């Protein structure tokens, strides 16, 4: 695999787990063939951190900005609201920088976080506001869809979004194929190797609609260990085995898919 190189389409390099050794993490990823890490935000507090990382490692870290549908608070976690979103001044923060994509946005209808129709409606309103930003800035979207795969894909189509990545998608194959028909991409982390539940899904999604991610520091091959971008080849090898094609083929096609999906990554790598 020496000639292969990768793009990690969804990771969290601003996570607390990387605070002490981020330089080593990035250097290891380079040696493993990872040319670019699309580092996403979950909350506004990460915006300045990811900008700083992108400035320190311009050849490796591609910054993305967005507000996740589930927000951390002093009392645990809560579903995002329009009021909270507007209080963050998120649009001005995103317009002020050159963003690779609008992310980490989407819907999360996990029952223990979201129990009412009002909460689901609020999430959809915030999702729509961020999709409007993506359309205004002509940026792709990097989308979360936990317990809401069908609703998320339908909503993206309703909002006129066609350049989207469904990260760590775990919905039904029939739902994923609706996204495939719309031209969406789906990315999978190393955690897919822990069991074979995703195999049927991966088998049915065309390789031309698949990208690679690590979701570092989470979703590695071993739950108890910190995940890193260098482990992206594990996801690549698993997908190759499921689809019965060479690892080199998966590497080449998924990298091409990522470059099409994220034009600013492609532009940065050519500079």
Q: Is the dihedral of CA 122, 125, 129, 131 positive or negative?
A: positive
pLDDT of residue 125: 95
pLDDT of residue 89: 57
pLDDT category, 73, cuts 50, 70, 90? low
* Among candidate residues 12, 145, 139, 159, the one with its CA nearest the CA of residue 70: 145
Report how far Cα 96 is from the mean position of its chain's Cα atoms.
Answer: 21
The two three-digit tokens of residue 124, written as one number: 């959809």
Give the mean model confidence (pLDDT) for residues 224-244.
98
pLDDT of residue 78: 84
pLDDT of residue 268: 86
Round to whole Å and give the CA distance between 25 and 256: 24
Exposed e or buried b per residue across 185-208, where buried means at least 16 C-beta atoms within 10 angstroms of its C-beta: bbbbbbbbbeeeebeebbeebebe
Q: Say whether pLDDT at 96 is over 50.
A: no
Q: Say whether pLDDT at 98 is over 60.
A: no
- pLDDT tens column, 215-227: 999 999 999 999 9
Q: What's the mean pLDDT when you consider all of the chain?
A: 91
Round to whole Å and give the CA distance between 47 and 41: 7
CA dihedral (59, 61, 62, 67) in degrees, to 10, reads -170
Which range (26-30, 101-105, 263-267) has the least confidence? 101-105
Q: Is the dihedral of CA 162, 165, 170, 173 positive or negative?
A: positive
pLDDT category, 12, cuts 50, 70, 90? very high
Domains of the chain: 6-270 (3.20.20.140)
Q: Say whether pLDDT at 67 is over 90.
A: no
- pLDDT tens column, 136-191: 889 999 999 999 999 999 999 999 999 999 999 999 999 999 999 999 999 999 99
SS3 sequence of the chain: CCCCCEEEEEECCCCHHHCCCHHHHHHHHHHCCEEEEEECCCCHHHHHHHHHHHHHCCCCEEECECCCCEEEECCEEEECCHHHHHHCCHHHHHHCCCCCCEEEEEEECCCCCCCCHHHHHHHHHHHHHHHHHHHHHCCCEEEEEECCHHHHHHHHHHCCCCCEEEECCCCCHHHHHHHHHHCCEEEECHHHHHCCCCHHHHHHCCHHHEEECCCCCCCCCCCCCCCCHHHHHHHHHHHHHHHCCCHHHHHHHHHHHHHHHCHHHHHHHHC
């Amino acid at each position: 695999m020496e000639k292969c190189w990768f793009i990690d389409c969804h990771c969290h390099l601003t996570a607390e787990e990387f605070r002490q050794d981020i330089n080593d993490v990035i250097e290891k990823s380079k040696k493993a063939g990872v040319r670019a890490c699309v580092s996403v935000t979950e909350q506004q507090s990460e915006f300045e951190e990811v900008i700083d990382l992108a400035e320190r490692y311009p050849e490796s870290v591609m910054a993305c900005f967005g507000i996740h549908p589930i927000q951390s608070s002093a009392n645990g976690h809560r579903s995002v609201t329009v009021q909270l979103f507007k209080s963050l001044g998120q649009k001005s923060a995103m317009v002020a920088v050159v963003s690779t994509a609008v992310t980490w946005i989407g819907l999360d209808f996990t029952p223990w976080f979201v129990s009412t129709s009002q909460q689901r409606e609020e999430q959809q309103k915030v999702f729509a506001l961020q999709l409007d930003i993506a359309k205004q800035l002509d940026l792709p979207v990097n989308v979360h869809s936990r317990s809401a795969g069908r609703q998320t894909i339908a909503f993206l189509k309703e909002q006129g979004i066609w350049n989207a990545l469904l990260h760590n998608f775990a919905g039904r194959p029939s739902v994923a194929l609706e996204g495939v028909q719309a031209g969406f991409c789906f990315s999978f982390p190393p955690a897919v190797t822990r069991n074979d539940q995703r195999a049927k899904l991966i088998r049915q999604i065309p390789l031309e609609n698949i990208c690679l991610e690590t979701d570092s520091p989470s979703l590695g091959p071993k739950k108890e260990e910190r995940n890193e971008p260098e482990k992206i080849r594990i996801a690549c090898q698993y997908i190759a085995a499921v689809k019965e094609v060479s690892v080199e083929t998966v590497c080449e096609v998924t990298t091409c898919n990522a470059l099409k999906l994220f034009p600013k990554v492609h532009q940065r790598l050519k500079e």
